[in-house]
Amino acid sequence: MVVNAALDDAGRVSTSAGVAIRLRGLRKEFGSVVAVDGVDLDVLDGEFLTLLGPSGSGKTTVLRMIAGFELPSAGRIELGGVDVTNRPPFDRDVNTVFQDYALFPHMSVHDNVEYGLRVRRVERVERRRRVAEALERVRLDGYGDRRPSELSGGQRQRVALARALVNRPKVLLLDEPLGALDLKLREQMQVELKSIQRDVGITFVFVTHDQQEALTMSDRIAVFHAGQIEQIGSPAQVYERPQTEFVAGFVGTSNLLAGDAARTVLGRDGTWSIRPEKISLAELGHAQTVGVRSAPGVVREVVYVGDVTRFVVDLDAGGQLVALQQNLNTSSSDVVAFRGKRVELSWRAVHEFEVGSAVVPTSDPLAASREPLAAELQGTPGTPPAGGA
Ligand SMILES: Nc1ncnc2c1ncn2[C@@H]1O[C@H](COP(=O)(O)OP(=O)(O)OP(=O)(O)O)[C@@H](O)[C@H]1O
Ligand SMILES: [Mg+2]
């Protein structure tokens, strides 16, 4: 559950009511390295917020500062409206799930999960009850007597989760918890993790560099770049309305038209982004070009991926666009035959978005983009729902 709050462009709310975590001017230097460079962020109660960004962009450092394992060089951290900037980790109502799970190898699954409750001197009957409940929630009832070494990677991951959940923290911090799992298991765990979060109503701050994972699970995504938040918004906003070239390129295929190509094809100046799945491709002369934008070009590369095919097209106007087509009636040999062919690309003008090099503030960015987005995304299979505020 996410409370309704008016968020500004930087993802900040005006009051502290309903805010689980508040970061202001957060900065961290390691010697001459600026790992985190002025982060402002409000995470709402019960929200699933993802920090998404490339390696080295500062995600883990932000998480470690929220948990108290690292002290900021500057700035302030509030949890539930209380300034905890200088408090030690044990004095903060947060739990962390690390990428390597950090289970105690010599203890059973039951004892691993129980550990936090023992430290807090919760009495025995209550401990039993809560461990059983946590193991059941991650579907590991019956595994209590095993050692971590007797479990699969996915099961270990769930023990780590149960061990954090059993303490019923207000906030759970997860640093790439699914990174070690194979693709199938990762996709299963994404769904499970999301439904557990919905059930327990704990605020999740989830770190990943996998854009698909971020789009699948999050209420909102904060896109990190060089220690700063470059854009924050719902998955649909970040994907469909990237505000900078970096976001357009990192969350999906960037597909930019700029300079002469933009002037010739779109009749406009600036840098414009069109997502590959919004672009249709047809042999020259066979395209429906009435009422849509279109551009001729030559297929430079064809990448067959089973369910879809990516066509990389050199436009006559200069520049390059990728078009993603479902393989409804085509086989791999059909699509490969397109290499070198002259084709016509077409798309609806509504799917062109101007991207800048910096975040462009508007008075109410959520309201501005939610309505048309919601309508656009209706019935689009596989597109995450517009979550967030
Ligand atoms: N203890 C440290 N001492 C020195 N530099 C550090 C330390 N921890 C992190 N850094 C540097 O700070 C920057 C941010 O690191 P951080 O671990 O936060 O990135 P990240 O976004 O989590 O990356 P990844 O996706 O690879 O985990 C990097 O340049 C890193 O080398
Ligand atoms: Mg990291």
Report the C-alpha gap between 268 and 259 in whole angstroms.
9
Q: What is the pLDDT of residue 3?
A: 44
**Ligand 1 centroid to 275 CA: how many Å?**
31
**Structure token digits, residue 103:** 């289970």
| Residue 272 β-bridge partners | 257, 354
**Confidence band of 101 (pLDDT split at 50, 70, 90):** confident
Report the C-alpha gap between 156 and 31 in whole angstroms.
36
Q: Which of 26, 27, 29, 30 to mutate to test the pocket of ligand 1 (most atoms within 8 A of CB)?
A: 30
Strand ranges across the sheet with 320-326: 280-283, 342-347, 293-304, 308-315, 320-326
**Ligand 2 centroid to 258 CA: how many Å?**
33
CA-based angle 207:211:217, to the nearest 5?
Answer: 65
Residues with Cβ within 8 Å of residue 249, at least 6 apart in sequence: none
Distances (CA, A) of 152 to 55, 155, 257: 27, 5, 46
Report the C-alpha gap between 296 and 242 in whole angstroms.
25
pLDDT in tens, 133-144: 999 988 899 999
Q: Ligand 1, residue 51: give the atom nearest the CA.
A: 21
Q: What is the pLDDT of residue 6?
A: 58
pLDDT in tens, 206-245: 999 999 899 999 999 999 999 999 999 999 999 988 888 8
Phi-psi region of 381 (alpha: psi -120 to 50; beta: other; left: phi over 0): beta
**Confidence band of 332 (pLDDT split at 50, 70, 90):** confident
Q: Does pTM surpass 0.95?
A: no
Q: What is the pLDDT of residue 10?
A: 62
**Ligand 2 centroid to 339 CA: how many Å?**
40
Report the C-alpha gap between 20 and 15 in whole angstroms.
12
Give all strands (DSSP E) within 132-189, no chain letters.
171-175
Report the C-alpha gap between 131 and 192 in whole angstroms.
19
**Ligand 2 centroid to 122 CA: how many Å?**
33
Calculate the average pLDDT of the chain.
85
Domains, the chain, ordered by start: 19-93+169-243 (3.40.50.300), 248-354 (2.40.50.100)
Ligand 1 contact via 209 beta carbon (within 6 Å): yes
Residue with the nearest Cα to atom 5 of ligand 1?
A: 30
